Amino acid sequence: MTLLGRARSRTAGGATLVAGLMAAACATAQSVPPSQPATWPEGALTLQDARIQESSGLARSGHDADRLWTHNDSFSGARLFAIDRHTGATLATFSLRNTYNLDWEDMAAFDDRGQPALLVADVGDNFAIRGAVSLYVVHEPQRLGDGGALVPLRTLSLRYPDGPRDVEAVAVDPATRQVYLLSKRDPVPRLYRVLLDPPTPLTVQVAEALGPISIPRAPPGARLARRLEWVTAMDFDAAGRRAAVVTAKQVHVYDRSPGEPWIAAFQRMPMSLPLPHFGQIEAAALSADGRALDLSSEGFPAPLARIPLPEAHR
């Protein structure tokens, strides 16, 4: 979430999911580790690896539905952790060569012409000072073994047409081969996109500004409430029919029709659902079918939970 000189909150709130979501989540929940704080919702797991201090991005696996991927926030090593979705245990760790974790804020899973791939987004910019930010694309390893090193297939550099932006929410549309980015600190989040395959890959792309999205907002004077509405994660389902936009307290679900531009779907008011209070929720991944959302947050031990999502409404 942050760059230099930041202060982080480690305190989890005492909230629960609405009754319907809780019942569905508990039906498939694993046993809760003894170390789980009492304020976490029933059914939550923990990421057990002490190296995962600030889970800042989460992505589903294209090879194994029981696997997730995560990474730490800024200055915490250029590493990807493969996680068992049912236990929270680390399955393997991979370093990302020729990269630096200045402020990794999100990751996304997508189909790269038949090959499961991951995109890691070094796009955090709390102080709006970065002239350009980076996206790293790697093919997801199918066999984990003891981990190892991954070499990015490509590194994309980009800047925004209206100046630096703090961004923590990134998703990939594999059908159009475009990367979507959603700003965090604007009064209303703004959607941008860049090409996954730019014609001149070694140059800095200027992101296309698509405009503000529709999202519930607190009154202008409610500063704390506005901060809790900052967007900290985003994901698309595998079919590109659903997007989940996550804040500290809610997930906003946007469904789109076949062929509809993403910005058109984002400019309708979403279906909004409360989230468990994990503290600083910054990592979220939609299941491939868009029917569930996996969540984690910063801090150690970090929680890991899956919540069901309702059917599409259009």
Confidence category of residue 298, pLDDT binned at 50, 70, 90: confident
- Residue 173 has a CB neighbour count (10 Å cut-off) of 17
Confidence category of residue 223, pLDDT binned at 50, 70, 90: confident
From 60-69, 96-105, 199-208, 213-222, the region with the lowest mean pLDDT: 213-222
Is residue 216 predicted with pLDDT exceeding 50? Answer: yes
Select 19-31+54-288's CATH number: 2.110.10, 3.30.310, 1.10.3470, 1.10.12.
Answer: 2.110.10
What mean pLDDT comes out for the span 4-24? 36
Q: What pLDDT digit, counting tens, does each position of 52-89 carry?
A: 998 999 999 999 999 999 999 988 889 999 999 999 99
Q: What pLDDT digit, counting tens, does each position of 124-137 carry?
A: 999 999 999 999 99
Closest CA to 158 of 128, 184, 121: 121
The pLDDT mean for the chain works out to 87
Edge-to-edge strand ranges of the sheet holding 281-286: 45-47, 302-308, 292-297, 281-286
> CA–CA distance from 175 to each of 114, 134, 139, 209, 222 (Å)?
11, 22, 17, 20, 39
Confidence category of residue 313, pLDDT binned at 50, 70, 90: low
Q: For a pLDDT cut of 70, what percent of the chain falls above it?
A: 86
Going from N- to C-terminal start, the domains of the chain cover 19-31+54-288
Is residue 210 predicted with pLDDT exceeding 70? Answer: yes
Query: Residue 32 carries which DSSP code?
Result: P
- Predicted confidence at residue 227, as pLDDT, reads 85
Q: What pLDDT digit, counting tens, does each position of 248-285 carry?
A: 999 999 999 999 999 999 999 999 999 988 878 999 99
Is residue 28 predicted with pLDDT exceeding 90? Answer: no
- Predicted confidence at residue 23, as pLDDT, reads 37
Return the exposure string of 251-264: e unless at least 16 CB atoms fall within 10 Å of the residue's CB, then b: bbbbbbeeeeebbe
The single-letter code of the amino acid at 24 is A
Query: Residue 19 carries which DSSP code?
Result: H
- Predicted confidence at residue 177, as pLDDT, reads 97
Q: What is the helix (H) or strand (E) element at residue 223, kind and residue range?
A: helix 223-228
Residue 191 CB partners (closer than 8 Å, separation 6+): 180, 181, 182, 183, 209, 210, 211, 212, 213, 262, 263, 266
What mean pLDDT comes out for the span 163-167? 98
- Predicted confidence at residue 1, as pLDDT, reads 53
23-29 long-range contacts, CB within 8 A, separation 24+: 24/307, 24/308, 25/305, 25/306, 25/307, 25/308, 28/306
Give the Cα separation of 281 and 304 in Å (integer).
10
- Predicted confidence at residue 41, as pLDDT, reads 63
